[in-house]
Copies of this chain bind each other. A is one copy, B any other.
Amino acid sequence: MKTPEPEEERSLHMDRASTSTVTRLSSYLRLLRELEAEDLETISSKLLAERTGVTSAQVRKDLSVFGNFGRRGLGYNVHRLRDEIREILGLHHTWRVGLVGAGNLGQALYSYEGFGRQGFPIEAVFDTDPDKVGSSWNGLEIKHFEEFTRVARRKPFEIVILAVPGEVAQEVVDTVVAEGTRGILNFASAKLDVPPGVAVREVDLSIAMESLSFALSR
């Protein structure tokens, strides 16, 4: 606080806010889907807050960033709010997703129903292992990664899921980014170097473990 740099502080704060807001929007969306299944038509910010574990002030603040969905005293319309959040998160679009890496993790991710159901169906799988290339998962043939460029030039993969060993991760990323991929879901234990405009999200399983460890230590 001795050398305050308000500009920088503010912009860092905005980035941070944006990331956590998106995570909370995801959790509101999950709840709204449940409420729809229960045929509930409206929900108050108070209940939305209670069921997702944040304050109602936070809920109102998050939703106000994107416009005014609620009416004072009437709460939010469940269908409309769900649609608005889906729109904000870019989920009206079905993304073209490629998976690189057909090992145990790749297979587990391919079987994960959540991706397809939520607008991220895996449309192609690539590997370099001769034992895997040419075999099929539910009728989808595993292609050699050498074919990635040819396939992507017909139609780019907007998102690539990276389930390869850390040693080859950067090489794979360089190839897919060169072919137009702008989003990487990274399961490789490697820091990735990407050009501006490419988003990387890591799934670090140890963080969930550390949160458990913290809870069990109380």
Contact = CB atoms under 8 A, between A and B. Distances in A.
A154 to B, nearest CB: 20
Given A13-B55, A209-B115, A214 B103 contact: no
A112 B182 CA distance: 26
Contacts of A202: 208
A215 interface: yes
A166 B67 CA distance: 37
Contacts of A73: 2
B115 A183 contact: no
A134 B96 CA distance: 40
Interface string A31-55: 0000000000000000001100111
The main secondary structure of chain A at its interface with chain B is helix
Contact of A213 (B9, B119, B209): B119
Contact of A12 (B16, B53, B95, B159): B53
Nearest to A29: B210
A185 B206 contact: no
A201 B22 CA distance: 19
A148 to B, nearest CB: 19
A135 interface: no
Given A2-B73, A89-B210, A203-B203, 15 more contacts: A22-B211, A25-B214, A26-B207, A26-B210, A27-B207, A107-B108, A112-B205, A114-B205, A115-B205, A120-B206, A120-B209, A159-B209, A159-B212, A184-B212, A199-B212
